[in-house]
């Protein structure tokens, strides 16, 4: 007796738990629960949930199957069976399916597709409308107790299906064509709204930390670099010797100029002595005096070149140039830049923006610099200069030059390279996405 009571209590607990879960489940999960979890209360071998939907047609949920294949023979047979019973007099009452009352085509295939004892459990709306049916099949006969439990469960399932239908948006109840049209219109509105969202213009380009006012160290005359006395990026003081040109040719020219001056002076002295008695010699004195002045000027010029062979630093700062060994023995021309002397504290950012990516930026625009040394700690700056024309870069790319001033104190060393991101005014997202295609289209159409 106690065993029977315990079994009844267990069945009752399972029934209440299933009812509670059904009330908390929605959509496709509710159909899956009905065909699979009901077996915890009433044993069966096969279950089918048939749902009548006036808008989109009937829907089938099978036990043990995630999604029944459309057009499968078994599904077609189930839909025909459900339609026949739903159109009959006993569509809204729970009953064992009588094979004798079914069409011959359905009866012939019943042994192949479904267990022998099948039960029709109608799922009704609170107003009495037929929402669908739970079709159960097993090899054993259905008892009166099974009928009572399933009658109770069918009522609960019907209420859950009705509530689930009320939770859906009214749009889902529209005809399929109208629903697709409404979804398409809504999607178009959302896309148009997203494309109209304002975003800040920005561009990313290579950048380098440069000096604000560097002093160029240039070759004072044509010659050959003889020695470099400082290392790259070394700090130098004003007047410190940096580079010297090879003085051997200059020394030879200076020695020749000295000898030429001595000869001119000797000739002038001899002629001046002869001029005391010879009028012709006296007439040559002015010509020889000019020659002496010319030789003296040549000597002074060669001496000046020899003194300028040692190039000194014009200001205090850092010597910015490449490998020193590459300069030794290299011929240079007048005015050719050998290096720069720049202040390590007076720096700014130079950004080379390719012409294909260039957009309009106003002075004062925000700039972020991500150095190759520490890209995780960007330095902030403010745009101060933008070139009006593009020029070729060392890589052969036409680019616009932008310069930015760092905000506050910066730890970025002179010559450090990286990437800079320049922010501009806001524009619609669509214009930002299609800026390049529109530019190409304008070129193609010559607009």
Q: Which domains does the chain have, with CATH numbers?
A: 2-173 (3.30.450.40), 203-211+343-445 (2.40.30.170), 215-338 (no CATH)
Say what the pLDDT of residue 166 is.
Answer: 67
pLDDT surpasses 50 at 3:
no
pLDDT bucket at 203, cuts 50 / 70 / 90: confident
> For 144-288, where are the E strands, in sequence order?
198-211, 215-218, 223-228, 235-236, 241-245
- What's the whole-model pTM score? 0.46
CB 205 within 8 A of CB 357: yes
Give the DSSP H or E segment for 312. strand 310-312
Q: Mean pLDDT for the chain?
A: 80
pLDDT bucket at 290, cuts 50 / 70 / 90: confident
**263: CB partners within 8 A, 6+ apart:** 295
Give the DSSP H or E segment for 305. helix 279-307
pLDDT surpasses 60 at 2:
no
Say what the pLDDT of residue 28 is.
Answer: 79
Q: How crowded is residue 83: how many other Cβ atoms within 10 Å of its Cβ?
A: 13
pLDDT surpasses 70 at 8:
no
Tens digits of per-residue pLDDT, 121-148? 888 888 888 888 888 888 888 888 888 8
d(CA 161, CA 23): 9
pLDDT surpasses 70 at 227:
yes
Of 358, 365, 370, the C-alpha closest to 426 is 365
pLDDT surpasses 80 at 150:
yes
pLDDT bucket at 446, cuts 50 / 70 / 90: low
């Amino acid at each position: 007796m106690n065993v029977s009571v315990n079994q009844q209590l267990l069945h009752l607990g399972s029934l209440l738990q299933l009812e509670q879960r059904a009330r908390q489940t929605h959509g496709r999960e509710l159909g899956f629960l009905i065909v699979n979890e009901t077996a915890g209360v009433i044993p069966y071998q096969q279950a089918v949930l048939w749902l009548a939907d006036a808008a989109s047609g009937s829907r089938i949920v099978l036990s043990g199957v995630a999604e029944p294949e459309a057009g499968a023979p078994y599904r077609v047979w189930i839909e025909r069976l459900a339609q026949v019973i739903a159109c009959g007099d006993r569509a809204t009452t729970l009953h064992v399916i009588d094979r004798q009352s079914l069409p011959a085509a359905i009866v012939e295939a019943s042994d192949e597709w479904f267990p022998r004892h099948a039960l029709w459990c109608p799922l009704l709306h609170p107003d009495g409308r037929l929402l669908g049916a739970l079709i159960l099949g097993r090899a054993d006969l259905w008892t009166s107790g099974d009928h009572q439990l399933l009658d109770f469960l069918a009522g609960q399932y019907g209420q859950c299906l009705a509530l689930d239908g009320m939770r859906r948006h009214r749009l889902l109840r529209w005809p399929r064509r109208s629903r697709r049209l409404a979804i398409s219109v809504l999607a178009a509105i959302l896309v148009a709204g997203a494309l109209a969202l304002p975003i800040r213009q920005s561009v990313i380009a290579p950048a380098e930390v440069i000096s604000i006012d560097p002093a160029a160290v240039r070759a004072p005359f044509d010659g050959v670099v003889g020695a470099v006395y400082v290392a790259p990026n070394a700090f130098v003081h004003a007047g410190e010797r940096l580079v010297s040109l090879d003085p051997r040719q200059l020394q030879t020219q200076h020695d020749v100029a000295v000898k030429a001056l001595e000869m001119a002076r000797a000739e002038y002295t001899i002629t001046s002595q002869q001029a005391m008695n010879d009028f012709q010699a006296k007439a040559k004195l002015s010509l020889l005096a000019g020659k002496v002045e010319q030789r003296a000027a040549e000597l002074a010029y060669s001496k000046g070149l020899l003194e300028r062979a040692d190039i000194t630093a014009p200001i205090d700062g850092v010597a910015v140039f490449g490998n020193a060994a590459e300069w030794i023995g290299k011929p240079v021309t007048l005015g050719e830049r050998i290096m720069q002397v720049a202040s390590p504290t007076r720096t700014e950012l130079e950004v080379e923006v390719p012409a294909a990516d260039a957009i309009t930026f106003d002075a004062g625009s925000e700039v972020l610099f991500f150095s190759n040394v520490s890209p995780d700690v960007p330095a902030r700056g403010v745009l101060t200069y933008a070139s009006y024309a593009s020029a070729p870069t060392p890589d052969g790319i036409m680019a616009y030059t932008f310069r930015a001033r760092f905000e506050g104190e910066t730890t970025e060393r002179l010559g450090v390279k990286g990437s800079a991101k320049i922010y501009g005014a806001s524009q619609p997202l669509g214009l930002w996405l299609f800026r390049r295609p529109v530019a190409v289209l304008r070129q193609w159409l010559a607009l």
